[in-house]
Structure 1
Amino acid sequence: MLPRKVLFWVAAAGALAVAPARADVKPHPLFTDNMVLQQGVSLPVFGMADPGEEVTVTLTGPKGSATAKTEADKTGHWKVLLDKQTAGTGFSLTAAGKNKAEFKNVAVGEVWVCSGQSNMEMQVNSSETPDKVKAESKHPNIRLFTVHQRAALAPITDQADLKHFEKWVVCGPDTVGRFSAVAYHFGVSLQKHLDDTPIGLIHTSWGGTPAEAWTSLEALAAVPELNHYVNNVKNLKEQIAKYDPVKGKEAYAAAQEKYKEALAKHKDAVEKAKAEGKTAPKAPTPPQQPGPPAAGGHTPAALYNAMIAPLLPYAVKGAIWYQGESNAGRAFEYRTLFATMIEDWRTKWKSDLPFMLVQLAPFMAINKEPQDSQWAELREAQYLATVNLKKVGMSVITDVGDEKDIHPKPKQPVGERLATAARALAYGEKVEPIGPTYKSLKVEGDKAVVTFDHLGGGLVAKGDKLTGFTVCGKDHKFHNAAAEIKGDTVVVTCPDVAEPVAVRFGWANFPVVNLWSKDGLPACPFRSDTFQGVTEPKKPAATATKTSASKYSRTRLK
């Protein structure tokens, strides 16, 4: 027999082995040192603990503290609501149960989600004059949080599964270089006009991704025009379920043999090309390792699930958005898709979330003759969101483009115009949120007279004469036109069009335009017509000039 003392320790070890591990109180990864909490709203603080464990959350600031208690539910989740706070710094946040988690250098201010594709993702390090920007980036009351790229087939609810979340950092030369340039310039400009109120920027973007990937599956399912995206996800899940790892390995082995044969042939081809003084052919591509299909950056709802849903219900003021390039070929659908995404986010945050977007920059000059353009139609779809939905603003950047680069480097004017829109629509400042926008068209003989909203002190041409206007007659064939500012209108004429029917402005992939407001904002590209576009589903000739019945598809033709 074993000695009694040995038996005691064996029994104790066995008891420890079967006893459930105690779960420390763990606030969600969004709660770290240097965080910014949203002012003026009841503050949700949430996390994990043992089921039934009592959790006490306290926010302590220069003028006092706010406390709330709760118990973790049967799954271990807990959430409290702290009293509304006014902006300031020098706060600390604690969450205490069987243990205590404490966070320091906490601020209360304005929190914005910054999302989209590559032009939102572009870092300060890759933008215009990065060294100068970083040298001037010491803003202790601007805090930065980054969500790295990840896709998921269902919303991520396990906070332990958020390794792609970084921690809040204070903005400065050592931290801003890897952060979104657009988001940074937005934050700096916004803070400047909000009397140095602390600003929190949550950057969550992924280059080359479409809007449907950022929209929840239930939102896509609720709109008939978008149901096909739900089917895409259903098909992917079926492929995953049917995947056979044994067959996958067999297929990979067969592919490897073919690859080896291709390599041998390529080697011979290279030697032959070298002997004949010709360019060597490209090497064959090796096969990919076996594995089941998986969600990616283009999978509908997948980025919402992994990069937006895990932010909920963290309190935020609003969102800024730079995306659309990946949906340009489906611009007409984007009218519905984009508005659906915005309303989806608002539903999930239970807020009328102010939403500021960037209209696509000029890109891909083709020729100087008027023509249809997918990018122009996408810009129109973006603009329509500002018409059809409340508190949606837009940064027009017709002056910030690169004919050969889809990623123009100047990002400061982009961020600053987003901040201007936010000041007007989210904070109620008496500033124009956007430059001149199309209001109406009146034909007077051979003249087409265009009126505008958002005049911003009046119209002005940056150059000797206005550029970018085209006009058509009853044949719907557009011609480059002369344009002249007359008071608060623009008069458009063309010797080839005796009886104007419609006017377009900046209707091109790479518009060359120079109409601005005196307040310093460029005019928004527009068309006065509703002729069927190249991305609109074809309809019978009798209805070819009518718009879709979708509530988001109307234009402002008057």
Structure 2
Amino acid sequence: MADMNQKNLRPGIPASLLAAVTLSSALLHAEVKPNPLFTDGAVLQRGQAVPIWGTAKDGEKVSVEFAGQKAETTAKGGKWSVSLKPLEAGGPFTMKISGENTVTVGNLLVGEVWVCSGQSNMEWKFKATAAADQDRADANYPKLRMFTVARTTSPLPLAKAKGSWVECSPQTVDGFSAVGYYFARDLHEKLGVPVGMISTSWGGTPAQAWTSAEGFGGHAELDGYAKVAKENLAKYATAAPEKPLGPGIPASLYNGMIEPLLPYAIKGAIWYQGESNAGKSKEYQTLFPAMIADWRAKWKQGDFPFYFVQIAPFKGQPAEIREAQFLTLSKSKNTAMVVTTDVGDANDIHPRRKRPVGERLALAARALVYGEKTEYSGPLYESMEAKGDKVALSFGHVGGGLVAEGGDLKGFTIAGADGQFVPAKAEIKGDQVLVSAEGVSEPKAVRYGWANVPDVNLFNKEGLPASPFRTDVE
């Protein structure tokens, strides 16, 4: 668990009187220090205001000089913060932070900054991927950096993240988030600018742990999580817990691994999680959009891009959790979803093929953020129309056209008024799929890939797989 020292807590969060007195004494002799995110090798976001912050003695005048700019402020309550005007991509640069002492931070770059977060499939290291031996020697990208946040739980919002910026090289890439690396590599090569990734993930963790105490508000079905998070906030305001909170506790990872990143300037976030919420898929339909909204509200950078991975096929993961992720696209603006039905492993919840996952996330970013004219998603179900004994299904993101990979379409089932689903025949007609089955004269509903491990093959011509779906959404 993170250090519960007051110096690592957000302003306004009380600790014991003794800790407060100790802090007050320490601050009388405090040196100017930047937040740990602003250390050698950091990447700053281009094209938008860039907050820089840290600690200093109360009342101390602090100046920050960077790339021809100078910003000044006065520390209050032991904290200081300035904002740099939008920067152009480039570097390396040096930042000078001055008060009664001077701190110099070197080898800084300006480019694109993304957060990568989630559970084990996002945390999964490059060294354990299918293409590691093939790709390692070429991983010489000094302008691609990653800050990996140390696993930290906390009942209270923390102010500092534990971690450091690391340049990408064949010697360091093994420790990078694999999905984060492949995402960043693709953007770096296509955009030609530095890319920084802030990796903050923890295997086996649910979305409620990544949501703040306030983020559950307005959703009656999430009141239980809000109650636990707020009780912990009150209970540990004056004393640290005897044992660290578990990483599944509501708000514990938000407090320890997201709050400390605020308000670092970012372009967006990528997310790979859902396995630990599969047992409550219906709830996830509310929880996941609530978490996205919570991050955006806390970051105060608008509805920044939030792109996520639909969990891969696995014998223990029901179709309903993929549906909850699919439905999030219509509930949360500025989102995109990567489908992984073709790169999963039925017997392993951690499929080793991470390169296509990262590259598909980057494809979405290139299309939606960076203006590349390209199809970025596989076909997504939009509507159905009954035509006699057939159902015509319409899709978005058909790209250059719908295709059946490797033969006839498979993975479709159909039901009549009795609600009994049977295997169906499906064929592509233009941008639609026609579905029918013997014995179903008046079809009412169709499902595609509705299984833990779906056997499916509907793609668009760009090679992106269609998302599983059902027309009878509950």
Query: Contact 1:392/1:425 (CA < 8 Å) preserved in 2?
Result: no
Residue 93 of structure 2 aligns with which residue?
A: 91
Secondary structure of the residue aligned to 1:92 is strand
Deviations 1:470-525 (A, max 9, x none): 11111111111111111111111111322211111111111111111111211111
Tell whether the 8 Å contact from 1:114 to 1:183 is kept in structure 2 after alignment.
Answer: yes
Counterpart CA distance in 2 for 1:511 and 1:200 is 35
Whether 1:311 aligns to 2:261 is yes
Q: Cα RMSD (Å) of the superposition?
A: 2.0
Q: Which runs of 5+ in 1 are unaligned?
A: 1-17, 244-290, 366-373, 533-558
Spell out, residue by residue over 1:409-464, the C-alpha distance to the aligned partner (whole angstroms, 9 max, x if none). 00000001111111222223322231111121111221111111111110011111
Partner of 1:353: 304
1:318 partner amino acid: G
Give, in angstroms, the shift of residue 70 of structure 1: 0.5
Could you state the TM-score of these two structures normalised by the residue count of structure 1? 0.77
2:62 corresponds to which of 43, 55, 80? 55
Runs ≥4 residues deviating over 6 A = 237-241
Task: Report 1:532-547 matches (<5 A).
Answer: 532=474
Q: In structure 2, what is the equivalent of residue 210 of structure 1? A: 206
Amino acid at match of 1:39: R
Identify the match of residue 43 of structure 1 among 40, 47, 50.
50
State the Cα deviation string for residues 276-298 of structure 1 (Å, max 9, x = none): xxxxxxxxxxxxxxx84542110
SS at match of 2:145: strand
Give the equivalent residue in structure 1 for 2:169. Answer: 172
Q: Which residue is equivalent to 1:227? A: 223
Instruction: Report 1:11-410 matches (<5 A).
Output: 22-60=29-67, 65-73=68-76, 75-157=77-159, 159=160, 162=161, 165-194=162-191, 196-233=192-229, 292=242, 294-351=244-301, 352-364=303-315, 375-410=318-353
The amino acid of 1:175's aligned partner reads T
Shift of 1:32: 1.0
**CA spacing shift, 1:169–1:518, aligned 2, 3 Å:** same
**Aligned-pair CA distance for 1:23:** 1.2
Letter aligned with residue 204 of structure 1: T
1:8-30 residue CA offsets vs partner (Å, 9 max, x unmatched): xxxxxxxxxx9975211100000
Q: Indicate if the aligned counterparts of 2:27 and 2:56 stay in contact, CA closer than 8 A.
A: no
What is the Cα deviation at residue 237 of structure 1? 7.0
CA distance in 2, matches of 1:451, 1:388: 20
Which deviates more from structure 2 when the two are superposed, residues 84-93 or residues 410-419? 84-93
Q: Structure 1 residue 240: deviation in Å?
A: 7.5
Partner of 2:22: none
Query: What is the SS of the residue equivalent to 1:213?
Result: helix
2:396 is matched with 453
Residue 199 (structure 1) shift: 0.4
Superimposed CA distance per residue, residues 171-191 of structure 1 (whole angstroms, 9 cap, x where no aligned partner): 111111011100000111122
Aligned partners of 1:240 and 1:292 also within 8 Å: no
- Percentage of identical aligned residues: 52
Aligned equivalents of 1:444, 1:100: Cα separation in 2: 75
Q: Deviations over 1:8-60 (max 9, x none)?
A: xxxxxxxxxx9975211100000011111000111100000111111110113
**1:353 is paired with a residue of what secondary structure?**
coil
Return the index of the structure with the highest Cα Rg: 1
For the Cα contact (< 8 Å) 2:27–2:78, is it kept in 1? no
The alpha-carbon deviation at position 103 of structure 1 amounts to 1.3
Partner Cα distance (1:409, 1:19) in 2? 48
- Partners of 2:57 and 2:469 in 1: CA distance: 57
Q: 1:234 to 1:181 in 2, by over 3 A?
A: same
3-state SS of paired residue (2:343):
coil
Pair 1:425 & 2:375 matched:
no
| Distance in 1 between residues matched to 2:129 and 2:195, nearest whole Å | 21
Match of 1:516 in 2: 459
Task: Provide the secondary structure at the position in 1 that maps to 2:139.
Answer: coil
Q: Which runs of 5+ in 2 are unaligned?
A: 1-24
Helix, strand or coil at the partner of 2:189? helix
Distance (whole Å) between structure 2 residues aligned to residue 19 and residue 57 of structure 1: 23
**Alpha-carbon distance in 2 for matches of 1:444, 1:188:** 47
Distance 2:389 2:320 in 1: 27
Output the CA distance in 2 between the equivalents of 1:476 and 1:293: 50
Residue aligning to 2:4: none
Moved more, 217-226 or 341-350: 217-226
Question: Would the aligned equivalents of 2:213 and 2:230 in 1 still touch at CA under 8 Å?
Answer: no
CA deviation profile, 1:151-170 (whole Å, cap 9, x unmatched): 1001013x4xx4xx221111
**Cα-to-partner distance string for 1:105-128 (whole Å, 9 max, x where unaligned):** 111010000000000010001111
1:193 Cα offset (Å): 2.2
Native 8 Å contact 1:59 1:92 kept in 2: yes
Aligned residues: 448
Q: CA deviation at 1:232?
A: 2.7
After superposition, the Cα gap between the structure-2 partners of 1:27 and 1:236, relative to the gap in structure 1 and judged at 3 Å, is: closer
Superposed displacement of residue 406, structure 1: 0.3
**1:77 Cα deviation (Å)?**
0.3
Q: What one-letter code is carried by the residue in structure 2 that aligns with 1:489?
A: Q
Of stretches 516-525 and 409-418 in structure 1, the one that deviates more from structure 2 is 516-525
Question: Match for residue 502 of structure 1?
Answer: 445
Give 1:443's match in structure 2, choosing from 349, 371, 386: 386
Aligned partners of 2:206 and 2:248 also within 8 Å: yes
Equivalence for 2:19: none
